[in-house]
């Protein structure tokens, strides 16, 4: 579920907890994509949350004592706010108890997510090197540099977290539709005017999705259970066989690197 707009939606819903203190951590399942280390609780207990930031699909909490908590939600991860007395349910792997009688629960059925805690300078081991388009928009020149030595398709470039941080399978298809570029086009062969449209589309699609609270498919929601609405605006993602909203041509589904891509053969070239 969580690409950049969904992670940003969760981050914003967490902001009221800046200033809270972590009074306890309960681990029910350590085996996530990386096993949660033995010192996880010790790194966190008693710490005050000073900041909550995001880079690409990673969330990180700045804590006092130069500590940090990092979270990645994988495919099915979410954070939920609950009363600290609420019972745990299946796939609730970690509960963070805050001083405001609130628990933040990390819930992740597929366990593709990551939780890590340690010194702040340890974050760099995890964070992607790609530019986050919400923190600083990419220009056509930036994209040209990134595309120059690529032999593969533009969709793979958009989804490479060390090129552009935060775009996943939904938004790659949506962005390419808006830019009028087919997902199989080789990145290095895309012309500058198209890269200009692509740079604009990256920004417009992601900003719009954040404004609508992300895409709620498979029940995505923020920490308060609020759903997003951007799925209602999807032009192509998961719409194969349906008409393109711009030209009515039937949308196609193809598979690239084992993942579905959706596009309109009339609007995209």
Partner DNA sequence: CGCACCCCCTGCCGGC
Partner DNA sequence: TGCCGGCAGGGGGTGC
> What are the residue numbers of the active site?
2-3, 57, 259
151 binds DNA (CB under 7 A): yes
In this chain, which stretch among 9-17, 36-44, 136-144, 146-154 interacts with DNA, using CB under 7 A?
146-154
Q: How many CB atoms lie within 10 A of CB 258?
A: 5
User: Site mask, DNA, residues 217-236, x = CB under 7 A?
Assistant: xx-x----------------
Q: How far is CA 174 from the centre of its chain?
A: 15
Upper half-sphere CA count for residue 211 (Cβ side, 13 Å): 7
Figure out which of the listed residues 159, 201, 206, 223 binds DNA, where binding follows CB under 7 A.
159
Cβ contacts of 170 within 8 Å, gap of 6 or more: 3, 215, 217, 234, 237
Smaller CB separation from DNA, 3 or 22 = 3
Q: How far is the CB of 25 from DNA (least distance, A)?
A: 22
What pairing do the DSSP bridges indicate for beta strands 102-107 and 259-263? unpaired
Residues in the chain: 269
What CA–CA distance (Å, rounded) separates 220 from 239? 19
**Contact positions with DNA (CB under 7 A) in 183-212:** 187
* Positions in 21-50 near DNA (CB under 7 A): 33
Shortest Cβ distance from residue 200 to DNA (Å)? 21
| Distance in Å, CB of 238 to DNA, minimum | 7
- With binding defined as CB under 7 A, does residue 122 bind DNA? no
Closest CB to DNA among 141 and 248?
141
Residue in 12, 48, 50, 112 binding DNA, rule: CB under 7 A: 112
The whole-angstrom separation of Cα 236 and Cα 175 is 10
Q: Shortest Cβ distance from residue 41 to DNA (Å)? A: 23
b/e sequence 20-37, b meaning 16+ C-beta within 10 Å: bbbbebeeeeeebeeebe
Least Å distance, CB 220 to DNA, is: 4
- Quick check: 91 binds DNA (CB under 7 A)? yes
**String of DSSP letters for 51-105:** EEEEETTEEEEEETTTEEEEEE-TTT-EEEEEETTSPP-TTEEEEEEETTTEEEE
Find all residues with CB under 8 Å of 137, minimum gap 6, and list them: 199, 202, 203
Stretch that binds DNA, among 39-47, 63-71, 168-176, 198-206 (CB under 7 A): 168-176
Q: Contact residues for DNA (CB under 7 A)?
A: 1-3, 6, 33, 56-57, 72, 74-76, 90-91, 109-112, 128, 149-153, 156-157, 159-161, 168-170, 187, 215-218, 220, 256-260
């Amino acid at each position: 579920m969580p690409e950049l707009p969904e992670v940003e939606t969760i981050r914003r819903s967490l902001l009221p907890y800046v200033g809270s203190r972590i009074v306890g951590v309960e681990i029910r399942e350590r085996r996530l994509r990386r096993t949660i280390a033995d010192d996880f609780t010790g790194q966190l207990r008693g710490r005050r949350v000073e900041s909550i930031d995001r880079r690409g699909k990673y969330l990180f909490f700045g804590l006092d004592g130069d500590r940090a908590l990092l979270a990645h939600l994988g495919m099915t991860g979410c954070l939920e706010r609950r009363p600290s007395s609420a019972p745990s349910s299946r796939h609730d792997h970690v509960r963070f108890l805050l001083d405001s009688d609130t628990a933040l629960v990390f819930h992740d059925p597929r366990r593709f997510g990551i939780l890590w805690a340690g010194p702040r300078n340890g974050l760099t081991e995890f964070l992607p090197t790609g530019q986050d388009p919400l923190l600083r928009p990419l220009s056509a020149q930036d994209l040209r540099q990134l595309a120059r030595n690529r032999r593969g398709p533009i969709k793979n470039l958009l989804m490479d977290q060390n090129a552009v941080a935060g775009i996943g399978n939904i938004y790659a298809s949506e962005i390419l539709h808006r830019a009028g570029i087919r997902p199989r086009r080789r990145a290095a062969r895309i012309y500058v005017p198209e890269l200009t449209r692509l740079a604009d589309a990256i920004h417009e699609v992601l900003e719009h999705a954040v404004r609508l609270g992300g895409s709620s498919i498979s029940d995505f929601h923020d920490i308060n259970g609020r759903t997003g609405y951007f799925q209602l605006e999807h032009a192509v993602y998961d719409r194969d066989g349906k008409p393109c909203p711009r030209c009515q041509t039937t949308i196609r589904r193809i598979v690239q690197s084992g993942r579905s891509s959706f596009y309109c053969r009339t609007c995209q070239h």
